[in-house]
Amino acid sequence: QNSDKPAYLAHLNPAQLEAAEALDGAVLILAGAGTGKTATLTARLAHLIATRRAWPNQILAVTFTNKAAREMKERVAQITNGAVDNMPWLGTFHSVCARMLRRHAELVGLQNNFTIIDTDDQLRLLKQLMEAERIDVKRWPARQMAGLIDKWKNKGLTPDLIDAADAEGFADGKAPKLYADYQARLRAVNACDFGDLLLHMLTIFKKHGDVLEEWRKRFRYVLVDEYQDTNASQYEWLKLLAAPENNICCVGDDDQSIYSWRGADVTNILRFERDFPGAKIVRLEQNYRSTGHILAAASGVIANNSGRLGKTLWTEAGDGEKVRVLGVWDGPEEARRVGEEIENHISKGGSLNDIAILVRAQHQTREFEERFISIGIDYQIIGGFRFYERAEIRDAIAYLRLVNQPADDLAFDRVVNQPKRGLGDKAVATIHQYARAADLPLLLAAAQMLDSDELQARARNSLGRFVADIARWRGKIAELSPSELMQLIVEEAGYTAMLQADKSAEAQGRLENLSELARAMEEYDTLESFLEHVSLVMDTDRDADGERVTIMTIHAAKGLEFPIVFCAGWEEGLFPSQRSLDEGGQASLEEERRLAYVAITRARQKAHILHAANRRIYGQWTSSIPSRFVDELPEEHIESDATMSGGESLWRAQFSAQDDPFAHVARPASRGPGFQRAVAQKAAASTRTRSAGPADVKSSAVSLGNKGRDDLTLGM
Ligand code: ATP
Ligand code: MG
């Protein structure tokens, strides 16, 4: 394409080249998915180094994940033939700020060997402070306070800047004081939390002009990927560092802003031109990732959002295959059909690495995992744990194991103080000693210790309740189904209550995982057979560098691409999520729609969208209707297949109509009324997004469209 250019620029199209070569001043690349924003940013980085505009350590480059940072480093190493193998200031906001803060810790009252605490520590600390203030932590959960603090930190607000109005009436107005106490306490123990990494650097920059000056001199160029997901304090930090030359290049897509729940503020994109006068705005319009139908389907969905900046997107890759919309009977059938498609792909010589399954919520992975294990498809879960490795699932299973087998000491250790029942490390250590001396399993030792005074009265009391609980649950093994028993245990152990008291989205996810576990257990008649299944599932060894399917949430898939993508569970209440429907109004619905756009645009050659007519939620069958996003897919770019083949006919074969508990459930029509509405809307409104469909496909296609990321750096 640009044969007169060095290899690392030669493959760029004119708009990309313009952005990569415009080294001085502010540049904003504002473009849709798959248009090569990240590729252009990387080429620009290479260009800066190759032309000696800056040494690698004079470039600040921020990416959204560590994985993205690693990939960019690898690409630069490749481009420079290994000459550049270290980019110290290429990383996430957190990692870069942590590194900076180590050098200036004393300016915010820390030593440079400060510890970075995690969420658990953060909550424990807050709880102590709240109890000291005599705040009822049942009414005002520590988690909610942590959320407020994060929110303030995301806005760059230190305790002195908080006024009562910001505190949302939390704990009768005590939140600002708690925030101040919390910061003081962290300082006293030489620690900071994630939000502090950036906030402390902002504070330092504002108070110590000389330090800011030093960093401004160092960073001659600033590069930012996934700019649409930066929050206010990140933006301020970037602005401070880029001044006065403002050699800053940000790339982003307003349609892919999916982290507003973490304080990301898409209006940063709109402010860019005002904050950096004379900024060059580059728009990339050619999509190199996906084929025509995929792109058009994604564009059709996102066109339903209001207040977009609007973009043109086209591809030379040809129409490709239509997006396949598949309606299935239930979750297991969904997993089965995906499994079949994967086997099909493999039998034609394809690789498991080509495939990603994208889910909206973590608990959706289980059905796929079990299916893949049973048919021998290797898989990995990105940005999360395998279902049976999640903490709450392991806890529930540990309870079951202990009930089933009182000598299971590992299980005992896991749950004896989970949820917290006042049996701290010291009490547990005493039980261990006693058990060793008496050569007894821990649970038996604990039972014996109830009659001794080895433990303090309080510990003895709660241990007594624990031992009695286990015995009682054990008595129910014959009476209850494994699933019922599990639900009874998490309820009576206070485990569910612990999660319910915790108002975070994460706790919500854990509760969903537990009901998913209950669902999974319904297939087993005896506790033993279920536990055996679990040990087999946990034991599947993974071939470390073999090929595998990737399962992940849409959030984790940002910036990535796969030849084949399965988008699972497109049903109202699952996607868009119930939460977004219940609380958020239009804004959160639009964020869900952006997620739908991100999901579809991960696909290069083939996108499948699945929805099930029935889901078992909290042990109850509920009928679900297809997501409104399914209805919003433009008809000419999809092929629907809602014949619910396998599942329903199997079901019918096994049960007479009389037994059918869903006889009353309306079978989903393949296209709901929403679809008609969408078609009408589409006809009426001329969408700002030029349809990327077949009409736009140029016949003179240069065969670049289907090349993978890696082709970009080949031979450089
Ligand atoms: P997203 O919005 O999803 O982050 P993006 O805009 O960052 O996407 P990239 O991931 O950089 O897009 O590029 C998408 C695909 O297009 C990659 O496979 C990349 O290698 C390829 N690509 C980008 N630019 C070109 C080009 N000029 N010629 C050929 N392929 C290209
Ligand atoms: Mg990208």
Q: Which helix (H) or strand (E) holds 186?
A: helix 175-188
Query: Mean pLDDT across the stretch 428-435?
Result: 91
Work out the mean pLDDT of the chain and round it to a whole number.
84
Q: Which of 150, 181, 225, 648 is catalytic?
A: 225
R_g of the chain, CA atoms, integer Å: 28
Would you state the pLDDT for residue 670? 36
Cα angle value 495/373/528 (rounded, 5°)? 50
The yes-or-no verdict on residue 120 having pLDDT over 90 is: no
Distance from C-alpha of 26 to C-alpha of 71, rounded to nearest angstrom? 24
Cis peptide before 244 (omega within 30 of 0): yes
In angstroms, how far is CA 609 from the centroid of its own chain? 19
Please tell me if the CB atom of residue 37 comes closer than 6 angstroms to any atom of ligand 1. Answer: yes
Distance from C-alpha of 124 to C-alpha of 130, rounded to nearest angstrom? 10
User: Is 264 labelled as part of a ligand binding site?
Assistant: no
Packing angle, helices 442-449 and 425-438, rounded to 10: 100
User: Is 31 labelled as part of a ligand binding site?
Assistant: yes
The yes-or-no verdict on residue 100 having pLDDT over 60 is: yes
Least confident of 238-252, 519-533, 602-616, 652-666: 652-666
State which of 60-64, 597-601, 643-647 shows the largest mean pLDDT: 597-601
Distance from C-alpha of 184 to C-alpha of 170, rounded to nearest angstrom? 20
Instruction: Indicate which atom in ligand 1 lies nearest the CA of residue 31.
Output: 6
- Among all bound ligands, the one having the nearest atom to the CA of 287 is 1
Please tell me if the CB atom of residue 34 comes closer than 6 angstroms to any atom of ligand 1. Answer: yes
Question: 629: Cβ–Cβ under 8 A, 6 or more apart, which residues?
Answer: 301, 570, 575, 576, 592, 593, 596
Query: Does residue 602 have an active-site annotation?
Result: yes
- Tokens (6 digits) for 493: 């152990």
- Among all bound ligands, the one having the nearest atom to the CA of 20 is 1
**DSSP code for 573:** B
Distance from C-alpha of 715 to C-alpha of 81, rounded to nearest angstrom? 9
> Across-strand partners of 248?
222
Instruction: Indicate which atom in ligand 1 lies nearest the CA of residue 559.
Output: 4
Percent of the chain with pLDDT over 70: 87
- Among all bound ligands, the one having the nearest atom to the CA of 41 is 1
- Among all bound ligands, the one having the nearest atom to the CA of 601 is 1
Query: Mean pLDDT across the stretch 169-197?
Result: 90
User: Is 46 labelled as part of a ligand binding site?
Assistant: no
The yes-or-no verdict on residue 408 having pLDDT over 90 is: no
Q: Amino acid letter at 29?
A: I
- Tokens (6 digits) for 52: 């000696």
Q: How do residues 287-310 score in pLDDT, each as one tens digit?
A: 999 999 999 999 999 999 998 888
* pLDDT band, residue 643 (cuts 50/70/90): low
List helix spans (H) across 276-315.
292-302
Q: How do residues 193-213 score in pLDDT, each as one tens digit?
A: 989 999 999 999 999 999 999
List helix spans (H) across 219-330.
232-242, 267-275, 292-302
What are phi and psi for residue 144, nearest 5 degrees? -70, -40
Distance from C-alpha of 402 to C-alpha of 466, rounded to nearest angstrom? 11
Would you state the pLDDT for residue 669? 36
- Tokens (6 digits) for 675: 């679809």
Alpha-carbon torsion, ordered 597, 603, 604, 605, to 10 deg: -120
User: Is 38 labelled as part of a ligand binding site?
Assistant: yes
Please tell me if the CB atom of residue 604 comes closer than 6 angstroms to any atom of ligand 1. Answer: no
What is the distance in A from the centroid of ligand 2 to the CA of 35?
8
Least confident of 139-143, 259-263, 569-573, 704-708: 704-708
List helix spans (H) across 348-390.
365-375
CB-CB neighbours of 45 under 10 Å: 27
SS3 223: strand
Tell which residue, 415, 432, 392, has the closest CA to residue 470: 415
Distance from C-alpha of 51 to C-alpha of 75, rounded to nearest angstrom? 17
Which protein residue's CA is at the shortest distance from atom 4 of ligand 1? 559
* pLDDT band, residue 707 (cuts 50/70/90): very low
Q: Which residue out of 8, 289, 597, 704 has the highest number of ligand 1 atoms within 8 Å of its CB and is therefore the one to mutate?
A: 289
Q: Which of 75, 602, 606, 628 is catalytic?
A: 602
* pLDDT band, residue 710 (cuts 50/70/90): very low
Please tell me if the CB atom of residue 252 comes closer than 6 angstroms to any atom of ligand 1. Answer: no
Antiparallel, parallel or unpaired: β 603-617 and 620-623: antiparallel
Distance from C-alpha of 655 to C-alpha of 60, rounded to nearest angstrom? 64
- Tokens (6 digits) for 376: 């021998």
Please tell me if the CB atom of residue 598 comes closer than 6 angstroms to any atom of ligand 1. Answer: no
Tell which residue, 159, 250, 241, 180, has the closest CA to residue 206: 241
What are phi and psi for residue 329, nearest 5 degrees? -75, -50
User: Is 312 labelled as part of a ligand binding site?
Assistant: no
Q: Which residue out of 38, 249, 711, 716 has the highest number of ligand 1 atoms within 8 Å of its CB and is therefore the one to mutate?
A: 38
Which protein residue's CA is at the shortest distance from atom 31 of ligand 1? 288
* pLDDT band, residue 543 (cuts 50/70/90): low
Which protein residue's CA is at the shortest distance from atom 27 of ligand 1? 12
Cα angle value 240/246/249 (rounded, 5°)? 105
Please tell me if the CB atom of residue 295 comes closer than 6 angstroms to any atom of ligand 1. Answer: no
Distance from C-alpha of 187 to C-alpha of 185, rounded to nearest angstrom? 5
Query: Does residue 80 have an active-site annotation?
Result: no
Query: Does residue 474 have an active-site annotation?
Result: no
Distance from C-alpha of 380 to C-alpha of 357, rounded to nearest angstrom? 10
ipTM of the complex: 0.99
Which protein residue's CA is at the shortest distance from atom 15 of ligand 1? 289
SS3 328: strand
Which protein residue's CA is at the shortest distance from atom 11 of ligand 1? 36
Q: Please, what's the b/e burial string for 55-67 (b: 16 or more CB within 10 A of its CB; e: otherwise)?
A: ebebbbbbbbbee
Which protein residue's CA is at the shortest distance from atom 9 of ligand 1? 36
Query: Does residue 256 have an active-site annotation?
Result: yes
Least confident of 25-29, 99-103, 404-408, 639-643: 639-643
Least confident of 107-111, 281-285, 291-295, 683-687: 683-687
Asked if residues 230 and 224 have their Cβ atoms less than 8 Å apart, the reply is yes
Q: Which residues, by Cβ under 5 Å, contact ligand 2, an ion?
A: 37-38, 559
